[in-house]
């Protein structure tokens, strides 16, 4: 059991519209204790942020953006800034999600500059990292994770969260086993201690993501270095997401 407050974060990706997002939020609010033992966050797509943000006022659920631009403002069509996210109620932002790295060719340097922008704008970055199937098969998992973490070594704010999401487990129904995930989480904590010192590494929350479901969450969260989840598909269903949130809460109890 860890002393770190677990996080259950729902990454809604490019799903939902205003009506279905509102319904989901209502379902979550009904099923959540006013101040539970879990930090619950949702990451709607940009057009939904304002409305979802308004519905979350005076709720225990936090709001985040799925991405941001490194600059504060200016001629960057299609992008959003940290300030704009904060303005609609976001306190968090995903950075370096594998779908951004893949769909938009985002490299480690860009990801690092987004971490800087998030912190400058008062948002907590959730740094996403993870290996592809090919990298795992060629036994390069820890090398890739190390590279992605070290890329933010010089710029990471104290308040940062890391999400390990093996690319091969995202949306595939395949999950890393608790033991496989724990090996990477342990490695991340050890490397964090080397980069930022023991105290910060001990406090760092490291989430697992990749086909997390109500039936695999309890076993995963039992691992000592797994401090919560970044959930895609299952976070679109209030009942499933609540079951995952409660699994996190039980581990913290």
Where do contacts with ligand 13P occur on this chain (CB under 6 A)? 11, 97, 165, 170-171, 209-212, 230-234
User: By C-beta, is 144 or 231 nearer to ligand 13P?
Assistant: 231
Residue found by looking up tokens 């598909």 in the block: 233
- In whole angstroms, the minimum distance from the beta carbon of 210 to ligand 13P comes to 5
Q: How far apart are CA 39 and CA 45, in angstroms?
A: 20
CB of 233 or CB of 249, closer to ligand 13P: 233
Q: How far is the CB of 130 from ligand 13P (least distance, A)?
A: 9
Indicate the residue among 12 and 192 with the shorter CB distance to ligand 13P.
12
Catalytic residues: 97, 165
CA of 39: how far to CAs of 170, 205, 207, in Å? 22, 11, 12
Rank residues 121 and 232 by Cβ distance to ligand 13P and give the closer one: 232
Q: How far is the CB of 13 from ligand 13P (least distance, A)?
A: 7
- Say which residues have a Cβ less than 8 Å from residue 201's Cβ, sequence separation at least 6: 189, 190, 192, 193
Evaluated on CA atoms 100, 143, 198, 5, the torsion sign reads: positive
Q: Which residue is nearest to ligand 13P (CB)?
A: 232
Alpha-carbon distance of 93 to 170, in angstroms, equals 19
64 or 233: whose CB is closer to ligand 13P? 233
Q: Are 130 and 164 in contact (CB under 8 A)?
A: yes
Using CA atoms, how far apart are residues 202 and 220, in angstroms rounded to an integer? 19
Terminal CA-to-CA distance of the chain, rounded, Å? 9
Break the chain down into helix, strand, coil percent, rounded to 5: 45, 15, 40
């Amino acid at each position: 059991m860890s002393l770190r407050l677990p996080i259950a974060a729902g990454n809604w990706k490019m799903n939902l519209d205003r009506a279905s997002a509102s319904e989901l939020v209502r379902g979550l609010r009904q099923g959540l204790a006013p101040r539970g033992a879990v930090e619950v966050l949702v990451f709607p797509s940009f057009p939904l942020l304002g409305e979802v943000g308004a519905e979350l006022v005076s709720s225990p659920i936090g709001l985040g953006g799925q991405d941001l631009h490194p600059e504060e403002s200016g001629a960057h069509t299609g992008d959003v800034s940290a300030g704009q996210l904060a303005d609609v109620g976001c306190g968090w932002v995903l950075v370096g999600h594998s779908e951004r790295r893949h769909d938009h060719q985002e490299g480690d340097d860009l990801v690092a500059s987004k971490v800087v922008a998030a912190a400058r704008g008062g948002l907590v970055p959730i740094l996403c990292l993870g290996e592809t199937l090919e990298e795992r098969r060629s036994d390069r998992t820890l090398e890739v994770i190390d590279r992605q973490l070290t890329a933010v070594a010089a710029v990471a704010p104290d308040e940062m969260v890391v999400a390990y999401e093996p690319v091969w487990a995202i949306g595939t129904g395949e999950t890393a086993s608790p033991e496989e995930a724990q090996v990477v989480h342990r490695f991340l904590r050890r490397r964090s201690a080397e980069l930022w010192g023991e105290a910060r590494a001990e406090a760092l929350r490291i989430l697992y993501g990749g086909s997390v479901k109500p039936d695999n969450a309890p076993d995963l969260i039992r691992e000592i270095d797994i401090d919560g989840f970044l959930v895609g598909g299952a976070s679109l269903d209030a009942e499933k997401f609540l079951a995952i949130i409660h699994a996190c809460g039980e581990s913290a109890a």
